[in-house]
Structure 1
Amino acid sequence: MEEMSSQVRLRLLPSARCLFDEPIQVKISRLKSRQVVTIKASSTDEKGVVFRSSATYRADGDGEIDLVRDASLNGSYVGVEPMGLLRTLTPNTLNTYFYKNKALEPHMVKFSVHDEEKHDRMLAEATNERLLMRDGVSRVPVKEGNFHGVLFIPPGEGPFPAVLDLCTFMSEKRASLLADKGFVVLAVPVFFEKPDISGKMHLDHYEEAVTFLKKLPQVGSKGVGVISRSKGGDIALSLAAFVPGIEAVVWINGCNANMGIPLFYKKRLILSPLMFNFSKVIPTDSGAKIIKYAIENPLDEKNKGSLVPVERAAGRFLFVASEDDLNWDSTAYVEAMVERLKRHGRSNFESVFYPAAGHLLEPPYGPFCPSALHGMLNFPVMWGGEPRTHAEVEVKLWKKIQEFLKTHLRCDDGHIKPRL
């Protein structure tokens, strides 16, 4: 071993193993006084795409660097940002999303320290294992009737509050991380395969998922919570309006009208589709398009049949809109829903608006994604968001979601079901 490199220490605190949504502290010690080094991070997603980031730091007089305290001088980000290396993980291809959707496999991030002066020689390395499931959470694939999904059950006896996670396409990330916090969560995708835009959607299939959750012996909440984003948002609103037993809905950057596909319930059409005008799509230099202005106005007379009658819902709503969402006009949709609820004398909602955040609000500490292939369209789209602010919003919102669901999905002790 060479004299210095064997000495340098790279520590991930409090532990190199943590949950995906927990921050870590990166500390480097035993460098030379004021030594300049580059810290690199890399991670491979579930499709085999490698994402990388790097930042240059100068050690203090004692040869130490602490990412919670010290500013990056240059690289993927500049300034003090303790989790900046994770936020800025980027692939070398444009319009690429970081796929981390399987709960059983941790998000592995490799950190390394390199000597600026000696041809980038590596001085130390460490791997951060970011788990989606804490110890004791169980994962059960479910295929029942007309729906399939994945169920996550926290450790312990319960009773637990129940949440349906309506992901647009199957992802276990948000559901497993919520189960870590003491919720029984069933992740059900809105689209099982490539969406059939010419077809029909049936609210009954999602109602089956709600009924399944309510019957679980571990569930203690009277009703079910629903968490949703994007296309999942209008399905969540429709469940709240037409299906009994929905106590709390988290709606993130969705629409106030039924998007794109006719919605049926009990064999009849309940909501006509709000359509797209492709001539209003705006191209950008990256090859990704802005589709925000291509969606017809849901408040136009001809689109009234697509508006979800949110005033019929008995449960509580948390409306979340990113003001820099380039996918939908989420802010306008929230304002329209709030106006509609007030007009009907309802006050069962709270709304939050986040300036400079984009469409893809996810659990915190994943790589920021500016643009990617749209699941329902066959071209990449811009999601929006100023990256650093967006990342800060994800941290705040994640706490808010948990508080909202805990508050409105109370488990009474009298509600414990007999064990089977």
Structure 2
Amino acid sequence: MSSQIRLRLLPRARCMFDEPVQLKVDGLRSRQVVTLRARTTDDKGVVFRSSATYRADGSGGVDLQRDPSLSGSYTGVEPMGLLWSMRAAALHKRFQRTKSLDPHVVKFSMHEEEEEGGRMLAEATNERLLIGDGVSRRTIKDGNIRGVLFTPPGGGPFPGVLDLYTFGGGLSEKRASLLASRGFVVLTVALYGHDDMAKNIKEVHLDYFEEAIRFLKKQNEVGSKGVGVMSISKSGDLALSMASYLPGVAATVWINGCSANTVLPLYYKKSQIHPALMFDISKIIPTESGAANGKNALHDPLAEENKATLIPVERAEGRFLFVASEDDLNWDSKAYLDMMVERLQRHRKDNFESVRYSGAGHYLEPPYGPYCPSSFHGVVGMPVLWGGEPRSHAAAEVHLWKKIQEFFRAHLSCDATQIKAKM
């Protein structure tokens, strides 16, 4: 490596996961062509890589905020392209970072030639933190609740948010810890398969989430009278049910979910309140990649025989933020969003806003992680396509992350007297 050539990460090499970083190169020959590469490893040991070729300016500099990639994992001016375009060498692998305490480490390197064996000219390491300075992390085992609570520094009052990240076994802390780092008390909970919980379940009980809401509201730092609920995919319909049946839910973020209760029957106070809307396996379309397209496989919730699965969102007193990716191939999120909007308007309700993202796929997550085109689906039992075009999906994640924070701040007003009453 040449000591004259520098690969810099600005404003610093250590930042939050959801913050952009500027890559700049100095000391190259005028108009020299170089290849920049990024490499990282997720919690499962899967390696993700990307590369892009750039031509230096007349002064021997490259700035990813200014200069276009000529070829590689993406083309054009994409300041964070090396991050969102990273892919696993193996097919159908989704980037997984479920723990919050260790930073996400990305190795950047610059090479003399476009070929894999090109001599390395410079390198830099980017530590992308999943939990901010002063944010506390506490494992929760309280009554039936199994989860992790994140609390910002400073004592509050803060809005309280319940994060239902995925419908699956273990916990994922990434979204909760990042949101807490932005000024929210966030409880993320597991539904099954975590710690001493059952490994599999045949039904879901809304009472569990009611207990989680009560626990969250009791925290001394929570100043909002009601709590927020954040969801995605299957947990979207659970969030709708919480908002429709449980007191204390003031703001609900629904991301690429369904308008009906899916997969497992839903119970409350020991009585079934919704049967499960199921998939028609015969409508899952295989593709040459080995991943299936399941967009139209879920039964129609508006069909007469399935109407009992529909969630009565008109009962909700809180606010909704509905988010749908128009290229979601897991199921037809946009159609389900339209169903809910029509239902609320029919009941003369205006307690909602909606966002639709053209070109985005199913898994909308905090920004700057690798885009996932396909991975294993636990319910379907095989890899499925998630949809989306990488560049559009990455832009949607940046916009949505800011939108979620604005939505919760607007509708989870905090009152310092709430805290005093708990102490």
Matched AA of 1:71: P
1:131 pairs, out of 129, 134, 147, with 129
What's the offset of the Cα at 1:275?
1.2
SS at structure 2 position matched to 1:174:
helix
> Would the aligned equivalents of 1:368 and 1:387 in 2 still touch at CA under 8 Å?
yes
SS at structure 1 position matched to 2:226:
strand
2:351 pairs, out of 348, 353, 356, with 348
Q: Distance in 1 between matches of 2:341 and 2:79?
A: 37
Moved over 4 A (4+): none
- What corresponds to 2:85 in structure 1? 88
2:281 pairs, out of 278, 292, 308, with 278
Matched AA of 2:105: M
> Would the aligned equivalents of 2:193 and 2:200 in 1 still touch at CA under 8 Å?
no
- What corresponds to 1:122 in structure 2? 120
1:221 pairs, out of 224, 230, 241, with 224
Are the structure 2 counterparts of residues 376 and 370 from structure 1 closer, same or farther at C-alpha, using a change threshold of 3 Å? same
Q: Does 1:42 align with 2:39?
A: yes
1:144 pairs, out of 137, 142, 145, with 142
Q: Distance in 2 between matches of 1:306 and 1:247?
A: 23
Identity of aligned residues (%): 64
Q: Distance in 2 between matches of 1:293 and 1:195?
A: 29
- What is the number of residues matched between the two proteins? 416
What's the offset of the Cα at 1:419?
6.5
| Cα root mean square deviation, aligned | 1.4
SS at structure 1 position matched to 2:320:
strand
Q: Distance in 2 between matches of 1:334 and 1:78?
A: 33
1:389 pairs, out of 392, 395, 401, with 392
- What corresponds to 1:61 in structure 2? 58
> Would the aligned equivalents of 1:220 and 1:417 in 2 still touch at CA under 8 Å?
no
Q: Distance in 1 between matches of 2:183 and 2:79?
A: 27
Moved more, 409-418 or 324-333: 409-418
Matched AA of 1:231: K
Q: Does 1:9 align with 2:12?
A: no
Matched AA of 1:204: D
Q: Distance in 1 between matches of 2:420 and 2:96?
A: 38
Q: TM-score with structure 1 length normalisation? A: 0.97
Q: TM-score with structure 2 length normalisation? A: 0.96
Q: Per-residue displacement from partner, 1:240-283 (whole Å, max 9, x unpaired)?
A: 01100000000000001000111000000001110111000001
Q: Distance in 2 between matches of 1:58 and 1:414?
A: 59
Q: Distance in 2 between matches of 1:146 and 1:305?
A: 28
What's the offset of the Cα at 1:375?
2.7
- What corresponds to 1:20 in structure 2? 17
Matches within 5 A, 1:150-169: 150-168=148-166, 169=168
SS at structure 1 position matched to 2:94:
coil
Q: Distance in 1 between matches of 2:359 and 2:319?
A: 26
Matched AA of 2:188: A
SS at structure 2 position matched to 1:292:
coil
Are the structure 2 counterparts of residues 419 and 209 from structure 1 closer, same or farther at C-alpha, using a change threshold of 3 Å? closer
Matches within 5 A, 1:104-115: 104-115=101-112
Q: Distance in 2 between matches of 1:117 and 1:388?
A: 22
Q: Per-residue displacement from partner, 1:147-170 (whole Å, max 9, x unpaired)?
A: 211100001020110000002132
Matched AA of 1:79: G
- What corresponds to 1:186 in structure 2? 187
> Would the aligned equivalents of 2:92 and 2:376 in 1 still touch at CA under 8 Å?
yes
What's the offset of the Cα at 1:413?
3.0
- What corresponds to 2:100 in structure 1? 103
Q: Distance in 2 between matches of 1:83 and 1:13?
A: 12
Q: Distance in 2 between matches of 1:72 and 1:301?
A: 53
Matches within 5 A, 1:315-330: 315-330=318-333
Q: Distance in 2 between matches of 1:72 and 1:87?
A: 14
Q: Distance in 2 between matches of 1:171 and 1:24?
A: 24
- What corresponds to 1:173 in structure 2? 174
Matched AA of 2:63: D
- Runs (5+) with no aligned partner, structure 2: none
Q: Distance in 1 between matches of 2:332 and 2:200?
A: 24
Matched AA of 2:19: E
- Runs (5+) with no aligned partner, structure 1: none
Q: Distance in 2 between matches of 1:117 and 1:361?
A: 32
